[in-house]
Structure 1
Amino acid sequence: MARIGVISFSDGRDYVHDGIVDFIRRTEDTLVARLADAGHEVVRGKQVVSSNTLATSVAREVAAAGVDLTVFHYAVWAFPHFTMLAAGATPGPLLLLSNIDPVQPGMVGMLAAGGALDQIGRAHTRLWGDPEQRDLVDAITARATAAAAVARLRGATFGRFGGRPMGMNTAVANTDQWQRLFGVDVEEIDQWEIVRRADLADAAEVRLAREWLERHATVHYDGKKLTPELLERQIRSYLAVRELIDEWHLDFSGIKGQPELTQYFATMDITEAFLNDPYDWHGPKETHVCATEADMDGALTMQLLKHIAGTPVLFADVRHYHADRDIWDLCNSGQHATWYAARSDDPAENLRRVHLYPEVFFFPAGGASVHHLAAPGQMTLARLTRRDGAYRMQLMLGEFENYDDATNETLMRQSTFEWPHAFARLDAPADDFLSRFGANHIHAVPGDRRAEVRAACELLGVTVDEFTRG
C-alpha cells in the first residue's frame, strides 16, 4: 500500500484552539486507525497546526518522511493561510479531507482552504465524510495508491532492446516527452547482447530450468521447431536479459524480437512470460514488466498498472472479435504471464494449465510458444495511447470468461491456437472500441482499478478516455 501523511489544522486563536484540540486529535486518531487498517503506513504531523510557524515546520517534517500523499485534515474551522503555508512546504500530491459535523465546521475550513489553493493554481483533491465509512477510506486509498504508483514511475529506467518492430509506430515513444511527463529515462540496448550473453549462460542453470518446465508444464517437442536445445536457448535468453536488467538497473523493459530474433535465433516468449511472472524455477521473485515488440507505451501502461494493482500485468493483441458472442480474443505470441492461467500463488497450479507448443509459421527460428487460457474474472483494461502527440489513457472494465473445453478450443483455433488467449467481454460497444482505440496492444489487471487509474492520470496530467456501454 501507500505511505500517507496526515496533518490536522485548527483555529489560530489560542483560546479557541485550546477548546477544540482534543476533538481534533480524536477525529485524527480515528482517521489514522482506519487508514492503518487498510494497510497504509501513516505519518502523522507531530502537532495540530494552530500557527503559521507550525504550518511550515509540521509540513516539512511529514514531507521529509517521503510520503506518497499528504492529507490535510479539517475537523474544525481552520485558518486558511495555514493551509497555504503547509502546501508550500509539501511537494507531493494533496488531499483535503473534512468531517461532516453540524457543530464543528470542518467543511467550511476545507472549502476556504481549497478555494485559496485554487486561486494560486495548486492542484488538490477534496473528500468529506466519516472515516468510519468504508467508502471514504476506499476513496482515500485509491488516491494514495495512485500517488504511490506515479511516484514510483518517476526516476525509473526503461530498457529498450532493439528498435521499432515491423514499422509499428505505436510501439515507439518520444524519450523527451517520457522524461517530461513521467520522469522515465530510456536505455537503448542492442538485441545482440541477448544473443551474445545467452551463449555464456550456466549450463547447469539452464538444465535445471528446462527440467522444471518439463515437470510442471506440458512440453510438446516435435524435433524441428521445438527441441530441448531450442527450449534451452530460450531459457538462456531469459538468463541473459535478467543479467542485463541487473547490470543496467532497469525497472521495466521491452524486446523487439521481430524479425531478427524470431527468424534467426529464437522467440522471446519464454523470456517475456517469466519476466512478467512472480516466480521462476528458483521460486518467488519480483515481477519485471517486459513488453513484446519493444512496445514503449505498452510497457509504460503495464508498469503503472503493476504499481497500482501489485499483480502481474497482461499484455495482448486485440486479435479477434467474436460478434456472435460479443467477446474479444486477446492473444499475442507467448506474452501472457503464466500466472494468468489460474492466477494462483502456487506456480504448479498455473503451469499445469500451460502448454509449450512449437512456434508457428511466422517464427522460423523456432522455440516454444507459451500457450494457456486466462482464468475468468473481472478485469481493468487500459492502454496509454497518443492522439496528435498528446497522451490519453484509454480505459474500460471487462470480464474474462471461460467456457467448456470444446468451446474454448474451438474459439482458440479460430485465431492462433498455440499462443496464449484471454476471452474478454468488454464494457465497450465493438463499433465504438474499434473506431477509436489507439493501438493493437491492450493490457489488463484483475479487479476494478479504474478509480486508481483515473487518479494517477490526473496526477500525471493525462486525459482519461473511458469506454462504457452507457
Structure 2
Amino acid sequence: MTRIGVIAISDGRDHVHRRNTGFIRSKVDSFIAALTAAGHDVISGGLVATNTTATAAARSVAAASVDVTVFYYGVWSFPHFTMLAADATTTPLLLVASTDPAEPGLVGMLAAGGALDQIGRRHTRLWGAPDDPALADDVGAHARAAGAVASLRGSTFGRFGGRPMGMNTAVANTDQWMRQFGVDVEEIDQYELVLRAEKADAAEAARGREWLERLATVHYDGAKLTPELLERQIRAYLAVRELAAERHLDFSGIKSQPELTENFATMDVAEALLNDPYDWNGPKTVHVTATESDMDGALTMQLMHRITGTPVLFADVRHHHPDRDVWDLCNSGQHATWFAARSGDPAENLGRVHLYPSVFFFPAGGASVAHFAAPGRMTLARLTRLDGAYRLQLVMGEFECYDDATNTALAARSTPEWPHAFTRLDVEATVFLRGFGANHIHAVPGDRRRELRVAAELLGVRVEEWTR
C-alpha cells in the first residue's frame, strides 16, 4: 500500500479564503475519497491559507513518511504557499488541479508550478475531476514509483562471488550505486554459502525436498540429480536466507559459475525459491536474487518488485524464432516457479514444474527448474549503461504458451531442461538486437511502463523505450 500526503492550497486573502473553503473542501474530500477507494493510505495535511500553515502542513505530512506529496489546487492559490510547503518536504511533488471552471484551479497550479520551475524544484503536474478514477490511477502510479525509488536508498545488495565468466554487464561501480541509487554492496565469498549449507538444518532440507517431490515432478537419474543433491541445493537456499537475515541484505546475487556449478551444486533451486513468494513453510517475502551475481539485473528486479509486489523474471535473451517472431527467454533455473501459472497457490505453479538433472555446463549436478511461463501481457525492462551512464531500456511484450507438442519442440531447440518464457516483443527483432545493452532481461505482469518511467526520472536515468 502506498502512502500519499495531500495538502490543499488556498487563497491568502481572508475574505476570499472564507468564501472558497467549502468549495475547496468538497473537491479535496472527493479526491481523497477516490485515492482511498483505490487502496492508498492518504495523509491529509489540511487546508493552507497562510505562510505558517504552509510550512506546518508540509512538515506534518513529511513526518508521516509519505511516498509522494500532493499539492491540490481547487481555486486560485498564492504561489508562495507552494514554495514554502515544497521547501519543508523532500518527497516527490505532484501538483494536482481541479478542472471545474467555476474556480481557477488550473491557474493556481500553473502559477505554483512556474515558481517551482524557477528554483529548479522538480515536480509533476496532473489535472482532472477529483473523483476521476484515471486521475487517482495516475497519482497512484507516481506514488508506487516514488515508494520503490525511496526503498532503494539505504538498502544493501548481497553480492556472493565476483564477476561471472568475464561478464562485464553483471558488474557495476559500487560508488556509482551509492551516489545515484543509495544502495550499498556487501561482498560475500561464495565459500560462505558452502560452509553455511553444510551446517544447515538437515530435517528442514528434507521437508523442502519432500515438498518439491510432492508438488513438482522430480526426474532423479541417480547421478546428476539425487535426493542428496536436491537437499544440498535446498540447504544453499537456507544458507542465503540465513546470511540475508544476519547481514540485513535487501536483495542478492549469486555468481555460481564456475566454482559452485563445478564443485558444489547449481544454485537454480535456491535462486528460484528465493524469488518465489512461498516455500514449504507457506507464504514468505520475496528475496530478489539474480543469477551470475548480475548487479544491474538485481537492481532492475528490485525496482520492479518494489513497484509491483510480485516476483520478477530473470532470463537470458536466448533465441529469436523468426517464423513466429517470438523470443525464447530462457536461463538456467532462474525463473521463479510462480511464473509457471502466476497463481497464489504454490501447488498450481509447482504442478507445472519439472526438476531435471543439470546439463553438461554444470558437472557438480543438482536440479534445473523447468517450466513454461504462463501467458499474459508483460512489461520487460533492464537498467543498462551506455558510456557509464545508466538508461532504462523498456518494452512491452506478450508471454505466449502453446500446446504441449509445440512448447516441447520450441524448448528442444535450445535447452529443454531450463525454464522458458516464449515472448512476443513490441519491437522489431533487429532494433532490439542492435540496441539492447545486456544478455539478461526482466519482466513483471501487466503494463508498468508508467511507474517505471517515473522511477527512472526520479533516479536521474534516461528512458529508452521501444514500440512497434
TM-score bucket (shorter structure): over 0.9
Q: Which residue number corresponds to residue 54 of structure 1?
A: 53
> Any gaps of 5 or more consecutive residues in structure 2?
none
CA deviation string 1:399-426 (max 9, x = no partner): 0001111011000000000000000000
Quote how far apart the aligned CAs of 1:138 are: 1.1
Paired residue for 1:5? 5
Secondary structure of 1:344 counterpart: coil
Q: Which amino acid aligns with 2:69?
A: T
Find the counterpart in structure 2 of residue 89 from structure 1.
Answer: 88
Count of aligned pairs between the two proteins: 468
What residue in structure 2 maps to residue 292 of structure 1?
A: 291
Match of 2:455 in 1: 456
| CA positional deviation for 1:131 | 2.2
The residue identity in structure 2 corresponding to 1:324 is D
Q: Which amino acid counterpart does residue 35 of structure 2 have in structure 1? A: L
Separation in 2, partners of 1:223, 1:42? 58
C-alpha separation in 2, matches of 1:132 and 1:79: 24
Matches of 1:147 and 1:96 in 2, distance apart?
Answer: 15
Structure 2 Cα separation of the partners of residues 392 and 312 of structure 1: 22
**Structure 1 ranges of 4+ moved more than 2 A:** none
Matches within 5 A, 1:291-310: 291-310=290-309
Alpha-carbon offset, residue 22 of structure 1: 1.1
SS of alignment partner, residue 246 of structure 2: helix
Residue pairs, 1:19-58, within 5 angstroms: 19-45=19-45, 47-58=46-57
What is the RMSD computed on CA atoms of the aligned residues? 0.6
SS in 2 for 1:393: strand
The CA distance in 1 between the partners of 2:232 and 2:50, in whole Å, is 67
Give, in whole Å, the separation in 2 of the partners of 1:72 and 1:206. 53
Deviation at 1:328, TM superposition (A): 0.2
Q: 2:441 corresponds to which letter in structure 1? A: I
SS of corresponding position for 2:47: coil
| Cα deviations by residue, 1:361-408 (Å, 9 ceiling, x for unpaired) | 000000000000000000000000000000000000000001111011
1:19-51 CA distance string (max 9 Å, x none): 001111111110110000111000001x31101
Please list the CA deviations of residues 185-224 of structure 1 after superposition, one character each: whole Å capped at 9, or x if unmatched. 0000000001011111111111111111111110000011
Letter of the 1:364 partner, please give it. Answer: P
Structure 2 counterpart of 1:57, which letter? Answer: A
Q: Shift in Å at residue 234 of structure 1?
A: 0.5
Give 3-state SS (helix, strand or coil) of 1:254's partner: strand
* Structure 1 CA distance for aligned equivalents of residues 322 and 131 of structure 2: 46
**1:142-193 C-alpha deviation (Å, 9 max, x unpaired):** 1111011111111110000000000000000000110111110000000000
User: In the aligned structure 2, how far is the partner of 1:6 from the partner of 1:196?
Assistant: 51
Residue in 2 that maps onto 1:426: 425
Which residue of 2 is the match for residue 226 of structure 1?
225
Compute the displacement of 1:308 (Å). 0.7
1:219-261 deviation line (CA, Å, top 9, x unaligned): 0000110011111110111111110010000000000000000
CA distance in 1, matches of 2:121, 2:54: 17
Distance 1:413 1:287 in 2: 30
- Residue 117 (structure 1) aligned with residue 80 (structure 2): no
SS in 2 for 1:199: helix
Q: Which amino acid aligns with 2:412?
A: R
Mapped partners of 2:374, 2:157: distance in 1: 29
- What does residue range 313-328 of structure 1 map to in structure 2 within 5 Å? 313-328=312-327
1:341 corresponds in structure 2 to 340
Cα distance in structure 1, aligned partners of 2:354 and 2:11 = 66
Aligned to 2:198: 199
Q: Does 1:283 align with 2:282?
A: yes
Aligned letter for 2:434? S
Deviation, structure 1 residue 92:
0.9
